[in-house]
Amino acid sequence: MSKELSSAEYKERGNQLYAKQLYTEAIQQYSKAIELNDLNPIFYFNRSKCFKQLKHFDSQYEDSLRAIELDDTYIKAWIANGESLVELGKSSQSADKIDKGIQRLHKALGMCFKQGKREFEREIEAQIRKARKVKWYKEDEISRGERQQMMSVLQQQMEGQSEVYERFGRYLEQASGPQSGAQEQKGGVGEKHGNIPDFLLCKIKDDFMEDPVIIQSGFTYERKCIETHFKMNGATDPITRQVVDPKIMIPNIQLKQATEHFIDRIKNSSNKQRTTKI
């Protein structure tokens, strides 16, 4: 008749299998130990280490959390719990789990000072640095996703607006050819000018745009003007009255370059005329 093992013996078997990197088999032994004694936090923590090696981070989180519930002074369990949250946060839609994981790791670091267990400090500090790096990448990933979504919305809104880009192209083709003879008026290039293409002018202030932005409706306005319009009149397009998201503003680089090119041509033309007169 075989001798029935105790929970401590199952734990020791699990430890031996863990040392041999037989993590699945080790989990089985720790599980048997837990069946006999489900109030020992070490059993849960040891099993959580196996789950970590197998990249089963949800199970690592659950076991380390159970260990903390049984002993909230268990530093290793706090470290494991923080690690698992950071790993789970990598595939999450936000950085919330990563933030929570960093908080758990800071909790473990604080406990080192209180308990005088300084041997864990370097490990925890390294984990915190790693977690912060993961958080930076996650936030950058989220930011890029939001930008892509924003551009997708704008592309949908600007379907049928291809005429604007065709006009850009025609203007640039003309500008690269012979001088059009545009004359600088007395008030300077900022004032109304008969030869200024209308698409270079902000429809709100009827002047050149220094910082043109595309809003959700697909139309372009001077940033300061559209921001003032949103504050005074609400989040609507000033021309179409379409309700828009005021946070969606994409710099219109093409239009800015076209405007700068046009202004430079006027200034060069004016300088040549002055030189001729002298």
Least confident of 36-40, 43-47, 152-156, 263-267: 152-156
Q: Residue 202's pLDDT is what?
A: 87
140/157: higher pLDDT: 140
Min mean pLDDT across 49-53, 54-58, 127-131, 140-144 is at 140-144
Letter string b/e over residues 205-233, b meaning 16 or more CB atoms within 10 A of that residue's CB: eebbbeebbbbbbbbbbbbebbeebbeee
Mean pLDDT of 103-121: 91
Stronger pLDDT, 110 or 172, i.e. the higher one:
110
Answer left, alpha or beta for residue 97, where phi above 0 means left and psi between -120 and 50 means alpha: alpha
Q: Which of 31-40, 111-120, 133-142 has the lowest mean pLDDT?
A: 133-142
Would you say residue 92 has pLDDT above 50? yes
Strand order in the sheet with 249-251: 220-222, 212-215, 249-251
Tokens linked to 1? 């008749």
Cβ contact 2:18 at 8 Å: no
- Provide mean pLDDT across the span 26-47: 97
User: Is 9 a residue whose pLDDT tops 60?
Assistant: yes
Query: Tens digits of per-residue pLDDT, 171-212?
Result: 555 544 444 433 333 334 444 445 677 778 888 888 888 899
pLDDT of residue 158: 54
List domains and CATH numbers for the chain.
7-152 (1.25.40.10), 160-176+193-277 (3.30.40.10)
- pLDDT score of 176: 47
Say how far residue 270 (Cα) sits from the centre of its chain: 47
What pLDDT, on a 0 to 100 scale, did the predictor assign at position 137?
86
Do residues 52 and 84 lie in contact, with contact meaning Cβ atoms separated by under 8 Å? yes
Q: How confident is the model at residue 227 (pLDDT cuts 50, 70, 90)?
A: very high
pLDDT at 193 (0 to 100):
46
| Direct distance between the N- and C-terminal alpha carbons of the chain, in angstroms, rounded to an integer | 118
Q: What is the pLDDT of residue 191?
A: 42
Q: pLDDT tens for residues 55-64?
A: 999 999 999 9
Question: Which residues pair with residue 250 across a beta bridge?
Answer: 214
| 204 within 8 A of 221, measured Cβ to Cβ | yes
> 162-178, pLDDT tens digit by residue?
555 555 555 555 544 44
CB 236 within 8 A of CB 244: yes
* Amino acid present at 262: F
Does the CA dihedral 231-232-237-239 come out positive or negative?
Answer: negative
